Amino acid sequence: MITHYAQLQLHTVSIQGVKQIYQQKLGFPVIYETDEEIRFQPTAHFTLSFLEVSEPLSPAHIAFEVPHSTFDESAAFIRDSGIPLLQWPDGREVDEFEKGRNIYFRDGDGNLLELISHSYITEGVLPPFGASKIMYLREVGFPADHVIQLREWFKHVLQMKTREESDIFNFVIGGTAHAIVSSTSRRWIPIAMRALPPRGTISFGVTDASFIRQVRSHVEEQSILFESDEELHFRQYGYSIRLVVAANFDAQIPVLLGLPLSVAKGSAAYDKSPI
Ligand SMILES: [Fe+2]
Protein backbone atom coordinates (compact mmCIF):
# COMPACT_ATOMS: atom_id res chain seq x y z
CA MET A 1 0.00 0.00 0.00
CA ILE A 2 1.12 3.53 -0.74
CA THR A 3 1.60 5.66 2.36
CA HIS A 4 3.04 8.99 1.16
CA TYR A 5 5.22 10.85 -1.32
CA ALA A 6 8.76 9.92 -0.27
CA GLN A 7 10.63 11.96 -2.87
CA LEU A 8 9.98 14.23 -5.80
CA GLN A 9 12.73 14.90 -8.30
CA LEU A 10 12.11 17.80 -10.65
CA HIS A 11 14.25 19.26 -13.40
CA THR A 12 15.83 22.70 -13.23
CA VAL A 13 18.08 24.80 -15.42
CA SER A 14 19.86 26.32 -12.40
CA ILE A 15 20.75 24.65 -9.12
CA GLN A 16 21.91 28.04 -7.82
CA GLY A 17 18.49 29.51 -8.64
CA VAL A 18 16.72 26.62 -6.94
CA LYS A 19 18.90 27.08 -3.86
CA GLN A 20 18.04 30.75 -3.61
CA ILE A 21 14.34 29.97 -3.43
CA TYR A 22 14.14 26.71 -1.49
CA GLN A 23 17.03 27.19 0.93
CA GLN A 24 17.32 30.95 1.30
CA LYS A 25 13.63 31.93 1.05
CA LEU A 26 11.73 28.84 2.15
CA GLY A 27 14.35 27.59 4.61
CA PHE A 28 14.39 23.98 3.38
CA PRO A 29 17.55 22.22 4.69
CA VAL A 30 19.98 21.04 1.99
CA ILE A 31 20.98 17.40 2.53
CA TYR A 32 22.92 16.74 -0.68
CA GLU A 33 24.47 18.90 -3.35
CA THR A 34 26.60 18.30 -6.44
CA ASP A 35 26.97 20.18 -9.73
CA GLU A 36 24.11 18.06 -11.13
CA GLU A 37 21.67 17.68 -8.26
CA ILE A 38 20.50 19.32 -5.05
CA ARG A 39 18.26 17.69 -2.46
CA PHE A 40 16.20 19.39 0.22
CA GLN A 41 14.54 17.82 3.25
CA PRO A 42 11.42 19.91 3.92
CA THR A 43 9.99 17.23 6.27
CA ALA A 44 11.33 14.11 7.98
CA HIS A 45 9.67 11.81 5.44
CA PHE A 46 9.98 13.74 2.19
CA THR A 47 12.91 14.79 0.00
CA LEU A 48 12.60 17.37 -2.77
CA SER A 49 15.31 17.04 -5.38
CA PHE A 50 16.26 19.06 -8.45
CA LEU A 51 18.33 17.68 -11.27
CA GLU A 52 20.04 20.26 -13.47
CA VAL A 53 19.31 19.66 -17.14
CA SER A 54 20.02 21.35 -20.41
CA GLU A 55 16.59 21.09 -21.95
CA PRO A 56 13.25 22.92 -21.78
CA LEU A 57 11.36 22.62 -18.49
CA SER A 58 7.82 21.52 -17.94
CA PRO A 59 6.61 23.10 -14.67
CA ALA A 60 4.97 20.93 -12.03
CA HIS A 61 2.14 21.62 -9.62
CA ILE A 62 2.68 20.46 -6.03
CA ALA A 63 0.93 21.25 -2.74
CA PHE A 64 2.19 20.99 0.81
CA GLU A 65 -0.19 20.43 3.73
CA VAL A 66 0.20 22.81 6.68
CA PRO A 67 -1.75 22.85 9.97
CA HIS A 68 -5.13 24.57 9.72
CA SER A 69 -4.71 26.33 13.08
CA THR A 70 -1.51 28.07 11.96
CA PHE A 71 -2.28 28.55 8.27
CA ASP A 72 -2.00 32.35 8.62
CA GLU A 73 1.52 32.01 10.02
CA SER A 74 2.56 29.81 7.07
CA ALA A 75 1.05 32.31 4.62
CA ALA A 76 2.72 35.26 6.39
CA PHE A 77 6.07 33.48 6.24
CA ILE A 78 5.82 33.05 2.45
CA ARG A 79 4.66 36.65 2.02
CA ASP A 80 7.50 37.97 4.21
CA SER A 81 10.05 35.85 2.31
CA GLY A 82 9.53 38.11 -0.69
CA ILE A 83 8.15 35.36 -2.93
CA PRO A 84 5.05 36.83 -4.61
CA LEU A 85 1.76 35.14 -3.78
CA LEU A 86 -0.30 34.46 -6.87
CA GLN A 87 -3.66 36.15 -7.23
CA TRP A 88 -7.09 34.99 -8.27
CA PRO A 89 -8.73 37.05 -11.03
CA ASP A 90 -10.41 39.19 -8.32
CA GLY A 91 -7.07 39.97 -6.65
CA ARG A 92 -7.40 37.60 -3.68
CA GLU A 93 -4.26 35.78 -2.55
CA VAL A 94 -5.81 33.47 0.05
CA ASP A 95 -8.61 31.18 -0.97
CA GLU A 96 -11.02 29.95 1.68
CA PHE A 97 -13.09 26.94 0.76
CA GLU A 98 -15.44 24.79 2.78
CA LYS A 99 -12.79 22.54 4.32
CA GLY A 100 -9.75 24.78 4.33
CA ARG A 101 -7.53 27.49 2.91
CA ASN A 102 -4.68 27.76 0.45
CA ILE A 103 -2.15 30.05 -1.20
CA TYR A 104 -0.13 29.63 -4.38
CA PHE A 105 3.29 30.85 -5.47
CA ARG A 106 5.93 29.92 -8.04
CA ASP A 107 9.61 29.11 -7.92
CA GLY A 108 12.18 30.39 -10.41
CA ASP A 109 11.54 27.53 -12.83
CA GLY A 110 7.82 28.22 -12.94
CA ASN A 111 6.74 25.28 -10.78
CA LEU A 112 3.38 26.08 -9.19
CA LEU A 113 3.59 25.56 -5.43
CA GLU A 114 0.71 25.60 -2.98
CA LEU A 115 0.36 25.62 0.79
CA ILE A 116 -2.99 24.16 1.80
CA SER A 117 -4.68 23.41 5.11
CA HIS A 118 -7.79 21.39 5.91
CA SER A 119 -9.91 21.64 9.04
CA TYR A 120 -10.46 17.86 9.04
CA ILE A 121 -6.76 16.98 9.39
CA THR A 122 -5.82 16.06 12.97
CA GLU A 123 -2.90 18.16 14.15
CA GLY A 124 -0.04 16.85 16.27
CA VAL A 125 0.35 13.62 14.26
CA LEU A 126 3.06 14.87 11.90
CA PRO A 127 5.19 17.71 13.29
CA PRO A 128 5.15 20.90 11.20
CA PHE A 129 8.64 21.54 9.85
CA GLY A 130 10.43 24.87 9.66
CA ALA A 131 8.97 28.36 9.47
CA SER A 132 6.56 27.38 6.68
CA LYS A 133 5.20 24.63 9.01
CA ILE A 134 4.93 21.96 6.31
CA MET A 135 3.61 18.58 7.51
CA TYR A 136 3.76 16.59 4.26
CA LEU A 137 3.64 16.80 0.48
CA ARG A 138 -0.04 16.36 -0.28
CA GLU A 139 -0.41 16.87 -4.02
CA VAL A 140 1.49 16.23 -7.20
CA GLY A 141 -0.23 17.17 -10.43
CA PHE A 142 -0.41 14.43 -13.08
CA PRO A 143 -1.80 16.14 -16.19
CA ALA A 144 -2.73 13.57 -18.80
CA ASP A 145 -4.26 13.45 -22.25
CA HIS A 146 -6.08 10.27 -21.27
CA VAL A 147 -7.32 11.05 -17.77
CA ILE A 148 -9.51 8.00 -17.26
CA GLN A 149 -6.77 5.62 -18.35
CA LEU A 150 -4.25 7.11 -15.90
CA ARG A 151 -6.77 7.34 -13.06
CA GLU A 152 -7.81 3.71 -13.48
CA TRP A 153 -4.18 2.61 -13.64
CA PHE A 154 -3.48 4.36 -10.31
CA LYS A 155 -6.50 2.62 -8.81
CA HIS A 156 -5.90 -0.81 -10.28
CA VAL A 157 -2.12 -1.13 -10.05
CA LEU A 158 -1.15 1.20 -7.18
CA GLN A 159 -4.40 0.52 -5.27
CA MET A 160 -5.09 4.20 -4.79
CA LYS A 161 -8.65 5.41 -4.18
CA THR A 162 -11.08 8.07 -5.30
CA ARG A 163 -14.25 9.43 -3.77
CA GLU A 164 -15.55 11.34 -6.75
CA GLU A 165 -14.49 10.95 -10.35
CA SER A 166 -14.70 13.07 -13.47
CA ASP A 167 -13.30 12.90 -16.97
CA ILE A 168 -11.17 16.01 -16.40
CA PHE A 169 -10.15 16.21 -12.72
CA ASN A 170 -9.60 13.58 -10.02
CA PHE A 171 -7.97 13.24 -6.63
CA VAL A 172 -6.51 9.73 -6.57
CA ILE A 173 -5.32 9.03 -3.06
CA GLY A 174 -2.88 6.63 -1.39
CA GLY A 175 -2.15 7.48 2.27
CA THR A 176 -1.22 11.16 2.40
CA ALA A 177 -0.31 11.18 -1.32
CA HIS A 178 -2.90 12.86 -3.51
CA ALA A 179 -2.27 12.40 -7.25
CA ILE A 180 -4.13 15.12 -9.13
CA VAL A 181 -5.02 13.30 -12.31
CA SER A 182 -6.35 16.03 -14.53
CA SER A 183 -6.75 16.78 -18.17
CA THR A 184 -4.00 18.68 -19.98
CA SER A 185 -6.88 20.83 -21.26
CA ARG A 186 -7.71 21.95 -17.71
CA ARG A 187 -5.49 24.80 -16.53
CA TRP A 188 -4.06 25.05 -13.02
CA ILE A 189 -5.73 27.59 -10.75
CA PRO A 190 -5.48 30.41 -9.77
CA ILE A 191 -3.43 31.74 -12.72
CA ALA A 192 -4.85 29.60 -15.55
CA MET A 193 -1.45 27.96 -16.00
CA ARG A 194 -1.16 25.42 -18.77
CA ALA A 195 -1.02 21.93 -17.29
CA LEU A 196 1.95 20.01 -18.65
CA PRO A 197 3.20 16.63 -17.44
CA PRO A 198 6.32 17.45 -15.39
CA ARG A 199 9.62 15.71 -16.10
CA GLY A 200 11.50 14.08 -13.25
CA THR A 201 10.64 11.22 -10.95
CA ILE A 202 7.83 10.85 -8.44
CA SER A 203 8.64 8.46 -5.58
CA PHE A 204 5.89 6.94 -3.48
CA GLY A 205 6.66 5.44 -0.08
CA VAL A 206 5.10 1.98 0.28
CA THR A 207 4.57 -0.30 3.24
CA ASP A 208 6.45 -3.44 2.21
CA ALA A 209 8.27 -5.51 -0.40
CA SER A 210 5.18 -7.61 -1.16
CA PHE A 211 3.40 -4.50 -2.47
CA ILE A 212 6.42 -3.84 -4.73
CA ARG A 213 6.20 -7.41 -6.06
CA GLN A 214 2.48 -7.00 -6.67
CA VAL A 215 2.97 -3.80 -8.69
CA ARG A 216 5.93 -5.38 -10.52
CA SER A 217 3.62 -8.07 -11.88
CA HIS A 218 1.64 -5.33 -13.69
CA VAL A 219 4.62 -3.46 -15.16
CA GLU A 220 6.01 -4.50 -18.50
CA GLU A 221 9.66 -5.48 -18.73
CA GLN A 222 10.68 -2.65 -21.09
CA SER A 223 9.22 -0.03 -18.72
CA ILE A 224 11.44 -1.02 -15.78
CA LEU A 225 14.33 1.36 -15.07
CA PHE A 226 15.52 -0.22 -11.82
CA GLU A 227 14.31 -2.91 -9.48
CA SER A 228 15.27 -4.50 -6.19
CA ASP A 229 13.35 -6.04 -3.29
CA GLU A 230 12.82 -2.63 -1.76
CA GLU A 231 12.47 -0.47 -4.86
CA LEU A 232 10.81 -0.38 -8.26
CA HIS A 233 11.44 2.39 -10.78
CA PHE A 234 9.52 2.37 -14.04
CA ARG A 235 7.87 4.50 -16.68
CA GLN A 236 4.13 4.57 -17.17
CA TYR A 237 2.04 6.88 -19.38
CA GLY A 238 5.05 9.18 -19.76
CA TYR A 239 5.68 9.43 -16.02
CA SER A 240 8.78 8.21 -14.22
CA ILE A 241 7.45 6.55 -11.06
CA ARG A 242 9.42 5.03 -8.24
CA LEU A 243 8.13 2.93 -5.36
CA VAL A 244 10.33 2.60 -2.31
CA VAL A 245 9.73 0.70 0.91
CA ALA A 246 9.59 3.31 3.67
CA ALA A 247 9.50 1.39 6.92
CA ASN A 248 10.15 4.63 8.85
CA PHE A 249 6.75 6.00 7.84
CA ASP A 250 4.12 4.51 10.14
CA ALA A 251 1.33 3.18 7.91
CA GLN A 252 -1.18 4.35 10.52
CA ILE A 253 -0.27 8.03 10.00
CA PRO A 254 -2.90 8.67 7.27
CA VAL A 255 -5.54 7.12 9.57
CA LEU A 256 -4.38 9.18 12.56
CA LEU A 257 -4.47 12.33 10.42
CA GLY A 258 -8.12 11.55 9.69
CA LEU A 259 -7.68 11.42 5.93
CA PRO A 260 -11.12 10.34 4.74
CA LEU A 261 -10.04 7.56 2.39
CA SER A 262 -7.71 6.08 5.03
CA VAL A 263 -10.28 5.66 7.77
CA ALA A 264 -12.94 2.97 7.93
CA LYS A 265 -16.15 3.35 5.97
CA GLY A 266 -18.95 4.36 8.29
CA SER A 267 -16.73 6.39 10.63
CA ALA A 268 -17.43 10.11 10.95
CA ALA A 269 -14.14 11.04 9.28
CA TYR A 270 -14.95 8.96 6.20
CA ASP A 271 -17.82 11.24 5.32
CA LYS A 272 -15.62 14.31 5.21
CA SER A 273 -14.55 15.39 1.76
CA PRO A 274 -10.94 14.64 0.83
CA ILE A 275 -10.90 17.81 -1.23
FE1 LIG B 1 -3.51 22.02 -5.83
Tens digits of residue pLDDT in 160-183: 999 899 999 999 999 999 999 999
Facing residues of 104 across strands?
A: 114
Distance between Cα 22 and ligand 1 center (Å): 19
Which tens digits make up the pLDDT trace of 20-35? 999 999 999 999 999 9
Distance between Cα 169 and ligand 1 center (Å): 11
Distance between Cα 62 and ligand 1 center (Å): 6
Residue 265 clears pLDDT 70, i.e. is over it: no
Distance between Cα 102 and ligand 1 center (Å): 9
Which tens digits make up the pLDDT trace of 75-105? 999 999 999 999 999 999 999 999 999 999 9
Distance between Cα 97 and ligand 1 center (Å): 13
Distance between Cα 197 and ligand 1 center (Å): 14
Distance between Cα 58 and ligand 1 center (Å): 17
Query: Mean per-residue pLDDT for 249-274?
Result: 79
Distance between Cα 61 and ligand 1 center (Å): 7
Q: How confident is the model at residue 267 (pLDDT cuts 50, 70, 90)?
A: low
* All structural domains of the chain: 2-261 (3.10.180.10)
Query: Mean per-residue pLDDT for 95-122?
Result: 97
Which tens digits make up the pLDDT trace of 4-20? 999 999 999 999 999 99
Write the CB contacts of 16 (distance below 8 Å, at least 6 apart in sequence): none
Distance between Cα 19 and ligand 1 center (Å): 23
Distance between Cα 232 and ligand 1 center (Å): 27
Distance between Cα 32 and ligand 1 center (Å): 27
- Alpha carbon 271 to chain centroid, angstroms: 23
| pLDDT averaged over every residue in the chain | 95
